[in-house]
Amino acid sequence: MKLQFNKNIAFLLLGLTVVTQACNKSFTDLVPQGTTTDANYWKTETDAIFAANGLYEHFSDDNMFGRGLFWYVNASDDMVTGRTDAGSAAVRNFTATGAESRVNSMYKKFYQIIQRANTILDRVPAMDIAESTKQRVLGEAYFMRGYAYFYLAQYYGDQRAGIPIVTEENMLETEFVRPAHVSENFTQIEADLLRAAEMLPLLTAYGPEDLGRANRDAAYAYLAKTNLQWARYDASKWSQVVRYCDMVTNSGSGRRLIDTDKPEEDFASVFYIENNYSTEYIFSVVSNKIRGSILPAVLFENTGYGLYNGWGYFHPTLELYNAFEEGDHRKKATILEFGDEFTLFGQDRRYYSSNSQTGFQFKKYMQPFRFPQEQHLNPNGDYPTSDLNVPLVRYAEILLMKAEALIMQGQNGDAEINLVRNRAGLPPIQGATMTELKRERRSEFAAEYTDRHSDLVRWGDAQAAYAKPATGRAHVTKTDPASTYSVVEVWPARRFNPSVHHVWPIPPQDVSNAGIAQNEGW
């Protein structure tokens, strides 16, 4: 049965409660309560597919990939908080407790994904349904469990303690502990993703109705991302990063950069609606005008010049602007500065902002705003979703992860870096070092969930980067695109303690409910 996963995800996500009642008042005390479904469920192929659809419900959650996890990305030197907000400021200043409304729900919501996956892995194997459907649904469950644990491990686990491991085998237990080391989480994530890769089809095997589901390339990609994080603790994992990146490249799905030798357009087009499922796509937040990610509007001018309800958060810093090389076409595709020409709702205009703290706006996700509002935007400006999917991992990251892993093993990563540079209109380099690699990642992934803050932490660069204030441009006349400006400090230097702030605090409610220890120092 075709459920029109991609086209009708809005309606699927509204009806998932039948398979999501296994949690008590807070899932992250990790004790399921009652039955998962009524006695008549888990009978048909439709039941299994519908349960799998529930694994993606968080795509439409503002506090997940709408802007929730972006509060962590916002800790980097690439951006500052665009509006006065004590909770988000505490996160950015590393003074948060984890109880802040901006960040206190993500931990439990990742465990809700895990709970749904565990229920599928417990119930679906015994179902009398088509084997092909069974394998795909189980593959989706293994993938989404590994995916959820990846983010939990990246944000909350370290060499002092991992995060609780709950699977279909122990999900009925009443007590859980934190593993002694986050490597135990990475081991479990790797096992889940390898199982997923065995069961899932290539994304090119999906019909239009199923685009957006977990796929084999996505499993390989998250295996590479997992080992990239793992290599902080075990240098032997660099070779695994290379291995899994090559598995994406050689999978047969034709993953490659969008590169038509038009650098002034190619990078920008990665973030066009028509390229939601291009050759560069690996895994994204599926979105449409009714349900999905609000991130593009979150980055848009506050109140949208009176035309649409932009939210005006997350403004690029002058430091990010200056980090791009001369001639890098990614700069104009990523950042709007005063005087830049752009199209808004069918009208050509020049950029200015009375909202931006820095004199800049992120442009990367602006394509839906080029057209008449009814074409690609939610008519409800209080929930401003669009038809643009927000990438979580794309092929450029595969190339740059492989390049980094090769460089860290004393090998040459020029071929991979230069593919990315060529698309941006930059000349090739020889003998690329980690300095060049870091610059490429920053230029390529600004304002993406690839997460520069996490990069700076794992490289050991965060303390020095955050000891410098963030700056921007203060324009004399904020409504004049040609206004002169002066450079000003927009966020003071911050104190980053690498022995504490390399992880985030687990929300206190979840610490209490689960009876686990908080991350040290928070």
The closest alpha carbon to 6, from 192, 285, 259, 245, belongs to 285
Q: Is residue 207 part of a domain?
A: no
Cα 136 from Cα 52, distance rounded (Å): 9
Radius of gyration of the chain, Cα coordinates, nearest whole angstrom:
22
Q: What is the pLDDT of residues 456-474, one digit of tens each?
A: 999 999 999 999 999 999 9
Q: Is residue 270 part of a domain?
A: yes
Give 5-49 as a DSSP string.
Answer: TTTTHHHHHTTGGGG-----SSGGG----S-SS-TT-S-SHHHHH
Q: How far is CA 424 from the centre of its chain?
A: 22
- Specify the number of domains making up the chain: 1
**pLDDT at 152 > cutoff 60:** yes
Cα 370 from Cα 488, distance rounded (Å): 31
The rounded percent of the chain whose pLDDT value lies above 90 is 89
Helix (H) or strand (E) holding 132: helix 131-156
Assign 519 a pLDDT band (cuts: 50, 70, 90).
very high
Q: What is the pLDDT of residues 424-454, one digit of tens each?
A: 999 999 999 999 999 999 999 999 999 999 9
Q: How far is CA 92 from CA 73, 86, 184, 192, 448, in A?
A: 9, 10, 29, 32, 17
What per-residue confidence (pLDDT) applies to 83? 86
Q: Is residue 27 part of a domain?
A: no
Cα 268 from Cα 322, distance rounded (Å): 19
Q: Is residue 68 part of a domain?
A: no
Query: What's phi and psi for 240, nearest 5 deg?
Result: -70, -35
Cα 192 from Cα 23, distance rounded (Å): 22
What per-residue confidence (pLDDT) applies to 38? 53
What per-residue confidence (pLDDT) applies to 84? 87
Q: Is residue 93 part of a domain?
A: no
Span of 2-11, 93-102, 353-362 with lowest mean pLDDT: 2-11
Q: Is residue 273 part of a domain?
A: yes
Q: How many CB atoms lie within 10 A of CB 215?
A: 29
The rounded percent of the chain whose pLDDT value lies above 70 is 93
Domain span including residue 255: 228-286+396-450
Residue 347's region, left for phi above 0, alpha for psi from -120 to 50, else beta, is beta
What secondary structure letter does DSSP report for 279?
A: T
Q: Is residue 211 part of a domain?
A: no
Are 139 and 202 a contacting pair, CB within 8 Å?
no
**pLDDT at 2 > cutoff 60:** no
Q: Is residue 315 part of a domain?
A: no
Sign of the CA dihedral with 306 first, then 364, 244, and 150 last: negative
Are 195 and 142 a contacting pair, CB within 8 Å?
yes
As a whole number, the mean pLDDT across the chain is 92
Length, in residues, of the chain: 522
Token pair for residue 325? 């090389």
Are 247 and 417 a contacting pair, CB within 8 Å?
no
